[in-house]
Amino acid sequence: MKRAIFPGSFDPLTLGHYDIITRGITLFDEIIIAIGVNADKKYMFSLEQRTDFITKAFKEEPKVLVHTYEGLTVDFCRKMNASFILRGLRNPGDFEFEKAIAHTNRKLSEIETVFLLTSSGKSYISSSIVRDVIRNGGDYTGLVPDTVRIP
Ligand code: ADP
């Protein structure tokens, strides 16, 4: 069973994440979307909201599961018996950042990181831009799956 973890904050889930996950489904038997919990970080959406957005977006996809975790991603991979970490790459900034993390994870474990290049039309989307649009009352609905809605 080829199982991958897709870790992130997902504050909130965007069409960029959605694209990487749906393309990842063709490569892996199972993808666990792992919402990282960091007590020092301030989030716009609660853990429950973030989980709910993702669970609803993938409710028709049995290969996608949603979990939350604290601590090192490689420890969570071991716990879940996952040999792969899936990450998306948008730009050179992502590459430099991800390279250091992937090398560190390789130093700490045997877990292999697999990168998918963002689809061309999605490369500008990030959770932080979505939060900015929301904060300023803009129309965010074209940037996120339709399960991400603010009541
Ligand atoms: P983090 O909390 O690590 O910043 P994010 O929730 O922002 O996590 O993103 C998780 C993963 O999704 C990362 O690998 C990131 O590169 C990828 N990602 C985010 N937005 C996009 C996008 N528009 N296209 C492709 N990958 C993306």
Length, in residues, of the chain: 151
Question: Which stretch of DSSP H or E encloses residue 100?
Answer: helix 92-108
pTM of the prediction?
Answer: 0.94
**Distance (Å, whole) CA 74 – CA 44:** 26
Ligand 1 atom at shortest distance from the alpha carbon of 89: 16
16 CA distance to ligand 1 middle (Å): 7
Q: Is 91 exposed, middle or buried (0-12, 13-18, 19+ CB in 10 A)?
A: exposed
Ligand 1 atom at shortest distance from the alpha carbon of 115: 14
The owner of tokens 């666990």 is: 32
**Distance (Å, whole) CA 27 – CA 4:** 9
107 CA distance to ligand 1 middle (Å): 22
Which residue positions in the chain have pLDDT lower than 50? none
pLDDT reported for residue 58? 98
Ligand 1 contacts CB of residue 14 (under 6 A): yes
Structural domains for the chain: 3-135 (3.40.50.620)
115 CA distance to ligand 1 middle (Å): 11
pLDDT reported for residue 39? 86
pLDDT reported for residue 69? 97
Nearest CA to ligand 1 atom 23: 16
pLDDT reported for residue 151? 78
**Three-state secondary structure call for residue 12:** coil
